[in-house]
Amino acid sequence: MLKFPKDFAWGAATSGPQSEGNFHKPNQNVFDYWYEKDPDAFYDGVGPDTASNFYNDYKKDIPLMAKAGIRSLRTSIQWTRLMADVDKGIVDEDGVEFYNNVIDCLLDNGIEPYINLFHFDLPIDLYKKYGGWESKHVTDLFADYAEKCFELFGSKVKNWFTFNEPKVILDGEYLYQFHYPLKVDGPAAVQVAYNINLASAKAVARFKKWRKENNSDAKIGTILNLTPAYPATNDPEDVAAAEFATLWDDNMYLDPAVKGHFPEKLVKILDDANVLFDSTPEELKIIADNTIDVLGVNFYHPERVMRPSVSPDSLQDWMPDIYFDNYEMPGRVMNVDKGWEIYPKTLYDIAINIRDNYGNLPWFVSENGMGVSHEERYLDDKGVVQDDYRIKFIKDHLTELHRGIEAGSNCHGFFVWTGIDCWSWKNAYRNRYGLIRNDIHTQTKTIKKSGQWYAKLSENNGF
Rounded to the nearest 10°, the torsion over CA 72, 364, 288, 194 is -90
CB 24 within 8 A of CB 50: no
Query: What CA–CA distances, in Å, run from 371 to 49, 160, 224?
Result: 21, 26, 19
DSSP conformation class of 424:
B
The rounded distance, in Å, linking the Cα atoms of 147 and 164 is: 18
The rounded distance, in Å, linking the Cα atoms of 155 and 362 is: 22
What is the secondary structure of 387-421 as a DSSP string? -HHHHHHHHHHHHHHHHHHHTT--EEEEEEE-SB-
The rounded distance, in Å, linking the Cα atoms of 456 and 219 is: 29
Determine which one of 283, 367, 375, 400 is catalytic. Answer: 367
Q: Is 367 one of the catalytic residues?
A: yes
Judged by DSSP in three states, 125 sits in: helix
**Residues found in the chain:** 463
For the chain, what percentages of helix, strand and coil (3-state, to nearest 5) are there? 45, 20, 35
Determine which one of 165, 173, 243, 283 is catalytic. Answer: 165
Q: Which helix (H) or strand (E) holds 413?
A: strand 411-417
The rounded distance, in Å, linking the Cα atoms of 49 and 33 is: 11
CB 290 within 8 A of CB 283: no
The rounded distance, in Å, linking the Cα atoms of 192 and 252 is: 11
The rounded distance, in Å, linking the Cα atoms of 325 and 320 is: 10
Closest by Cα among 14, 7, 10, 112 to 394? 10
Query: What CA–CA distances, in Å, run from 218 to 114, 145, 248, 356, 393?
Result: 11, 18, 30, 26, 32
| Interior angle at CA 11, CA 6 and CA 16, nearest 5 | 150
Residue type, position 179, single letter: H
Outline where DSSP puts E strands in 280-337.
294-298, 303-306, 325-326, 334-335
Sign of CA dihedral 337, 339, 344, 348: negative
The residues annotated as belonging to the active site are 165, 367
